[in-house]
Amino acid sequence: MTTTTTARAEARQVTPPEDRYAAELAFLAAHDPGPRPPGWRLTPRAVVTFVMGSEGRALALPDGADPAGELPRKLEIGGKFVGDRALVERCVITLAGERGLLLVGEPGTAKSMLSELLSAAVCGTSALTVQGTAGTTEDQLRYGWNYALLLAKGPSPEALVPSPVLTAMATGAVARVEEITRCLPEVQDALVSLLSERRLAIPELAGTEAAQAHAAPGFTLIATANLRDKGVSEMSAALKRRFSFETVGPIADLDAETELVRRQSRAAVERSGAAFRVDDAVLEALVTAFRDLRDGRSAEGWEVERPSTVMSTAEAVAVAGSLALSAAYFPSDRDVLSLVPGHLLGVVRKDEPKDAACLQGYWDGAVRRRAEQGSPTWRTLWDLRHVLED
């Protein structure tokens, strides 16, 4: 295999946080030698610092913390989650108490990212994950079998195929269940005994020591659920009692959301080898439009009709990335700002095609009024009103 082929094989579109931020995790483990819950790689305080960042300060290692000299003496920890620090602290305390954590919120509010960061910081891996769907089975939360071994030798520990949840139980790690309300109620109920009794019966191995799988210290579970999916498969009262609920909301500050969209879209585009050429005025207008349509009110207080679809930050990142790729691959064809209305129309019509009227109303209201106030960016957007009628 050539060097180019090897590099291509090793490249990944998405790097797990435990790999991407391995240097920060190693540094924080040495920087804060305080008490840690059973099985944790970091102290609770260090977990919060890993997620929220060190607020622009470079942290210093205490004397003797790195006798091998493998770590930097000082390191600034970058912020990864844009949100309420108190929310993150509550999540960490819930996990420290080995209680299930349920992150709920609108789609695109970084619930999954937060669960990945917490898992990586607590136990060193975010990979013990079950993706909830209508087709998720109870075996995917409990265990399955290697049928070749099962037929050859009968039920045995060697033939058992543990689920990510069972693996987390055995190793004292954090398991993750994405979109838990997408799972059927009978599948969800498999978690009730796991979270209350902290053990799993394996009746096929009755009479052996492996007939009961017990949770090691540190085991817990993080689940996510979208508020839009609340009625898909409502969680039972018994399962709800096993979780602490935390709501992850949209980013409150325009500048913070714009910076997040810039950072994440830039990273995605640069991974493809293209240069990021979307100026700040375009990004701010894009994020402002998303926020106005999401909130049903402009920053100036003007009423805006909300579309059915969720105008999430994650969607704004995707649109900003598309604008940057257009600028990189078709640099002289058109102005990047001229592409914004078409992309917004695609997002707004995603759930309900008739919601194109909402976007037209937004243009006739907030966009027009900003153009009349003299903003050149919004004047250009207003002149592109015809794009929404195609």
Over residues 141-159, the mean pLDDT reads 92
Segments in 11-141 forming alpha helices (H): 17-20, 22-31, 44-52, 85-96, 111-123
In the 8-state DSSP scheme, what is residue 367? I
User: Is the pLDDT assigned to residue 310 strictly greater than 50?
Assistant: yes
Lowest-pLDDT range, 64-73, 129-138, 314-323, 379-388?
64-73
Residues 7-56 have pLDDT tens digits of: 444 667 788 999 999 999 999 999 999 999 999 999 999 999 999 999 99
Quote the distance between the C-alpha of residue 107 and its chain's center. Answer: 10
Residues 219-234 have pLDDT tens digits of: 999 999 988 766 678 8
Lowest-pLDDT range, 67-71, 158-162, 225-229?
225-229
Q: How many residues does the chain have?
A: 390
Q: Are 363 and 382 in contact (CB under 8 A)?
A: yes
Over residues 170-191, the mean pLDDT reads 94
CB-based burial label for 218 (10 Å; 0-12, 13-18, 19+): buried
Angle, alpha carbons 341-347-353 (nearest 5°): 100
> In angstroms, how far is the first alpha carbon of the chain from the final one?
50
Distance CA 52, CA 85 (A): 7
User: Is the pLDDT assigned to residue 188 strictly greater than 80?
Assistant: yes
User: Is the pLDDT assigned to residue 266 strictly greater than 90?
Assistant: yes
**Percent of the chain topping pLDDT 70:** 96
User: Is the pLDDT assigned to residue 305 strictly greater than 70?
Assistant: yes
Distance CA 107, CA 111 (A): 8
* Neighbouring residues of 191: CB distance < 8 A, sequence distance ≥ 6: 100, 141, 165, 177, 221, 239, 242
At 80 the pLDDT is: 95
Over residues 57-78, the mean pLDDT reads 92
Q: What's the pTM?
A: 0.90
At 5 the pLDDT is: 46
* Neighbouring residues of 10: CB distance < 8 A, sequence distance ≥ 6: none
User: Is the pLDDT assigned to residue 2 strictly greater than 60?
Assistant: no
Distance CA 6, CA 97 (A): 44
At 6 the pLDDT is: 46
Distance CA 289, CA 359 (A): 10
Over residues 103-127, the mean pLDDT reads 95
At 273 the pLDDT is: 85
Confidence of residue 390 (pLDDT cuts 50, 70, 90): low
